[in-house]
Chain A
Amino acid sequence: MLLVFVIGYLAIIFEHVVRINKTASALFIAVACWALFFLTRSVPLMEELHIFSEHVASISQIVFFLLGAMTLIELVDAHKGFRIITDVIQTTSKTKLLWVICFLAFVFSAILDNLTTTILMISLLRKLIPHKEDRLLIGCLVVVAANSGGAFSPIGDVTTTMLWINGQVSTLAVISSLFIPSLVSLLVPLFYFSFVFHGNYPVIKHLKKEAKEPGSTLIFWVGMAGLLFVPVFKAWTGLPPFMGVLISLSVLWLLTDILHEKYPERERLRVPSILSRIDAASILFFLGILLAITALETAGILNHVALFLNEQLPSEALIAIAIGLFSAIIDNVPLVAATMGMYPLSQYPIDSSFWHMIAYAAGTGGSVLIIGSAAGVALMGIEKVSFSSYVKKMSLPALAGFLAGMGTYVLLN
């Protein structure tokens, strides 16, 4: 089973070389690992099915949450609702813009997921700075800011969300203990680059002319409120977060249906057409990778790794740092999923500092390499920033920021 997993994982990492879509590999290893587990069972089938269905329940909640949140954001974006923010940015000074963009990305990504934040900020940057070369560094910093901003809030990052949904961290505790470390991890590279940057960007006019879609202000505010409503709903009813996202989405759906019902030409602004633009392959990728990890977990393989890490690394902080550095190389979703399987809640209860460190490390450690986070990979795709130019310019400052933030956390606690 381990062999199937490792081969599949290599196929995922070297997707561009083997040219097999990573989702196909992920689905394949997921089913193959579970099938191997079921075929070599030692307990009765009913018991195994029960364990399996518990895993499916928690995985599907993450998948539905992702689907709902992505649709909601895409809906706001399609209405050009984010212009409400872009209209406010007036500066052309390079240093000022750097700070404004980074803080915007940081704050945004605390509410939205990192990928959406990055895509949004980059498409925004393209309008503010037409020259690709000028945009390179600021684009890289957006990735760092998006990853850092996501780490401290339960809805800002997939890995923190996973820990939150599964009950390893609680909303208030994780925000209050990780806000400063996350901010530090951004400020270190930001200060470094603001010394390098000088001068002004050429003035841009055409952005201001792009018309908003009808109802964009309403959709923007309802959408943002809907996302903020999710943790409120969870605290109020006790239902898992995906139910909150689903009701926010359906309220927005109802609203857009009422708004656009009389205009056939606005079909593209309604949810069914928005849904066709959602990247379903990446949702299936999540499903596959999470299923595969749970198979390893059930088979007891992750326990071995945890024991090994525990024996080799004496302190929890070092384990968390190692996980952060790992997350720069491999996808942090399976990494955190693996950690969740390795360390039981009975040993590390909710909001124990170990889980906070994991949330911080997995969230920000991915910024050290461009392939380390979904946001980085998006930058790679959209802006054609190469692996090596990111390593040369960004890796060291990002690493310094990551370690400084971790140091701050340890000092504060």
Chain B
Amino acid sequence: MDLSIFFIIAIFIAGYAAIIFEHTIKINKTASALIIAVICWAIYFLGRRAPLAEDLSQFSIHVSDISQIIFFLFGAMTLVELIDSHKGFKIITDIIETTSKKKMLWVITFLTFFLSSVLDNLTTTILMISLLRKLVPHKDERMLIGCIVVIAANAGGAWTPIGDVTTTMLWINGQLSTTAVMRALFIPSLVSVMVPLFYFSSRLKGTYPPIKSIKAEKREPGSRLVFWVGIGGLIFVPIFKTWTGLPPFMGILISLGVLWLITDLIHRKYPEREKLRVPSILSRIDTSSVLFFLGILLAVSSLEAAGVLRYIAVWLGETIGSLPLIATAIGLFSALIDNVPLVAATMGMYPLSTFPIDAPLWHMIAYAAGTGGSILIIGSASGVALMGLEKIDFVSYMKKVSLPTLAGFLAGMGVYLLLN
């Protein structure tokens, strides 16, 4: 390991600490994330041995992957915000009549779990959080339920090939087949949600204050149309991807374009409805959380480019003998670092010739990378989204959620081993 790699790791850890303790040092986490991203890459470029053109082409591959996630996020957030400002979610919130905390927890968790098996985790989380804001107006009461949305979204994504980026990667690369992974991982994934769900529901008591204000709230003109087209647009994304082969963010962008067109047509004659049109919606999008993503993903990719992640993977393989333990370790790691490079690294480490399609190792890795990320708030894209949208900090997530989630993760892994 040469000096530049050492510096990259040091800067990364210092920056990561600044992000974790955002509330203590009072520096916005996006600023820290962007700074570590640029500095880590700058060190990598300055300490290079390969020619600049080669470095740049490697960098641009990372930028391309990252920007696709960023554009996806931006599009999905705008789409959901557009539905929300038309009060389209009243269609769902009108159905959820309960005010019992316990019932609400179950309803929301199951809704998230199944939604996220079709939609990706990030969209599901954004969608469910905007729903929750309607149903539970008090931020403090929403916190726990928001955290379990993240757990349910990650678990729900793990068992379907289209529900989660890492499972999708393994599926596209031919490590998994559709029906086999669904059959093998459905019960473990469900178990990993049920454990924290039972724990939290035993602790939640009483009812939320009845929310008359939303029931009385009138829907905006065209809310039904915008709601159905918007939801249709989200469901269209995986269809568009399989149909054309284009990456998901293109699907989101065309759905957004269509919805933009529709709202322009509906509202163009009414100047007082300016607030319902996309330009004013865009000004309400939380751009700093989008930039936070950019920074974090860039920073992690610099570690990957410098080979730090590869060292860890090799070390892991040499130190731990048994496959379930390796998968568990990968799950725990995915709580710390992005699970996409992690799974990419394992795909490179274990050849398909030794571990053929649908070998238990691949199932375990799909499960572990998908659900292990819930243990820390920074471990998954949905967790980071929750951090940005609901201003939940690292420490309070760790205190309240990490242990039950870890128990769920291990229980699910145990169930998988028992069933096979």
Name B68's contact: one of A38, A56, A58, A278 (CB within 8 Å).
A56
Name A60's contact: one of B28, B63, B284 (CB within 8 Å).
B63
Which residues of B261-289 have CB atoms within 8 Å of chain A's CB atoms? 261, 264-265, 268, 277-279, 282-288
0/1 string, A242-273, CB within 8 A of B gives 1: 01101101110110011001000000001110
The number of residues on chain B lying at the interface, defined by a beta carbon within 8 Å of a beta carbon of chain A, is 61
Assuming the contacts A35-B250, A239-B59, A275-B288, asked whether A28 and B27 have C-beta atoms less than 8 A apart, the reply is no
- Let me know if A193 is at the binding interface, CB within 8 A: no
Name B52's contact: one of A45, A48, A238 (CB within 8 Å).
A238
- Let me know if A30 is at the binding interface, CB within 8 A: yes
The number of residues on chain A lying at the interface, defined by a beta carbon within 8 Å of a beta carbon of chain B, is 62
Which B residue's beta carbon lies closest to that of A11? B261
Among A16-24, A92-100, A131-139, A212-220, the stretch in contact with B: A16-24
Contact B63 A57 (CB under 8 A): yes
Contact A276 B283 (CB under 8 A): yes
Assuming the contacts A53-B64, A237-B45, A280-B282, asked whether A257 and B34 have C-beta atoms less than 8 A apart, the reply is no
Q: Give Cα distance in the complex from A152 to B264, angstroms.
A: 38
Contact B254 A31 (CB under 8 A): yes
Contact A28 B258 (CB under 8 A): yes
Contact B42 A237 (CB under 8 A): yes
With a cutoff of 8 Å between Cβ atoms, the chain A residues found around residue B243 in the complex are 39
With a cutoff of 8 Å between Cβ atoms, the chain A residues found around residue B261 in the complex are 20, 24-25, 28
With a cutoff of 8 Å between Cβ atoms, the chain A residues found around residue B294 in the complex are 64, 246
Contact A57 B254 (CB under 8 A): no
Q: Give Cα distance in the complex from A54 to B264, angstroms.
A: 33
Assuming the contacts A39-B244, A58-B60, A271-B288, asked whether A281 and B39 have C-beta atoms less than 8 A apart, the reply is no
With a cutoff of 8 Å between Cβ atoms, the chain B residues found around residue A20 in the complex are 261, 264-265
Name B246's contact: one of A28, A34, A247, A277 (CB within 8 Å).
A34
Shortest distance between the CB of A201 and any CB in chain B (Å): 35
- Let me know if B378 is at the binding interface, CB within 8 A: no
With a cutoff of 8 Å between Cβ atoms, the chain B residues found around residue A254 in the complex are 27-28, 31-32, 35
- Let me know if B41 is at the binding interface, CB within 8 A: yes
0/1 string, A82-124, CB within 8 A of B gives 1: 0000000000000000000000000000000000000000000
Which B residue's beta carbon lies closest to that of A275? B287
Which residues of B243-261 have CB atoms within 8 Å of chain A's CB atoms? 243-247, 250-251, 253-254, 256-258, 260-261
- Let me know if B37 is at the binding interface, CB within 8 A: yes
Q: Give Cα distance in the complex from A239 to B56, angstroms.
A: 7
With a cutoff of 8 Å between Cβ atoms, the chain A residues found around residue B260 in the complex are 21, 23-24, 27
- Let me know if B65 is at the binding interface, CB within 8 A: yes
Contact B41 A243 (CB under 8 A): yes
- Let me know if A287 is at the binding interface, CB within 8 A: yes
Contact B253 A30 (CB under 8 A): yes
Which residues of B284-338 have CB atoms within 8 Å of chain A's CB atoms? 284-288, 291, 294-295
Which A residue's beta carbon lies closest to that of B268? A19
With a cutoff of 8 Å between Cβ atoms, the chain A residues found around residue B9 in the complex are none
- Let me know if A81 is at the binding interface, CB within 8 A: no
Shortest distance between the CB of A244 and any CB in chain B (Å): 8
Q: Give Cα distance in the complex from A250 to B59, angstroms.
A: 20
With a cutoff of 8 Å between Cβ atoms, the chain A residues found around residue B283 in the complex are 276-277, 280
Q: Give Cα distance in the complex from A53 to B250, angstroms.
A: 12
Shortest distance between the CB of B55 and any CB in chain A (Å): 7
Contact A278 B254 (CB under 8 A): no
Assuming the contacts A20-B261, A31-B250, A271-B28, asked whether A57 and B61 have C-beta atoms less than 8 A apart, the reply is yes
* Most chain B beta-carbon contacts within 10 A, residue among A45, A251, A284: A284
Q: Give Cα distance in the complex from A34 to B245, angstroms.
A: 10
Q: Give Cα distance in the complex from A34 to B250, angstroms.
A: 9
0/1 string, A53-73, CB within 8 A of B gives 1: 110111111011001000000
Q: Give Cα distance in the complex from A237 to B47, angstroms.
A: 9
Shortest distance between the CB of B21 and any CB in chain A (Å): 14
Which residues of B76-125 have CB atoms within 8 Å of chain A's CB atoms? none
Q: Give Cα distance in the complex from A236 to B42, angstroms.
A: 9
Contact B264 A19 (CB under 8 A): yes
Shortest distance between the CB of B182 and any CB in chain A (Å): 24
- Let me know if B71 is at the binding interface, CB within 8 A: yes
Which A residue's beta carbon lies closest to that of B39? A247
Shortest distance between the CB of B29 and any CB in chain A (Å): 10
With a cutoff of 8 Å between Cβ atoms, the chain A residues found around residue B286 in the complex are 272
Contact B282 A35 (CB under 8 A): no
Contact B35 A250 (CB under 8 A): yes
With a cutoff of 8 Å between Cβ atoms, the chain B residues found around residue A272 in the complex are 28, 286-288
6 A-B pairs in the complex with CB atoms less than 8 angstroms apart: A20-B261, A21-B264, A23-B278, A45-B245, A53-B68, A53-B247
Q: Which 10 A-B pairs have the closest CB atoms?
A: A60-B67, A24-B260, A57-B64, A27-B257, A250-B34, A31-B254, A253-B31, A247-B38, A280-B282, A57-B60
Contact surface of A with B, Cβ cutoff 8 Å: 19-21, 23-25, 27-28, 30-32, 34-35, 38-39, 41, 45, 48-49, 52-54, 56-61, 63-64, 67, 233, 236-240, 243-244, 246-247, 249-251, 253-254, 257-258, 261, 270-272, 275-281, 284, 287-288
Known: A64-B294, A238-B52; 20 extra A-B contacts, CB below 8 A, are A21-B278, A27-B257, A31-B246, A31-B254, A31-B257, A35-B246, A35-B254, A41-B245, A53-B64, A53-B65, A67-B291, A237-B46, A239-B45, A243-B41, A249-B34, A250-B34, A250-B35, A250-B38, A253-B31, A279-B279
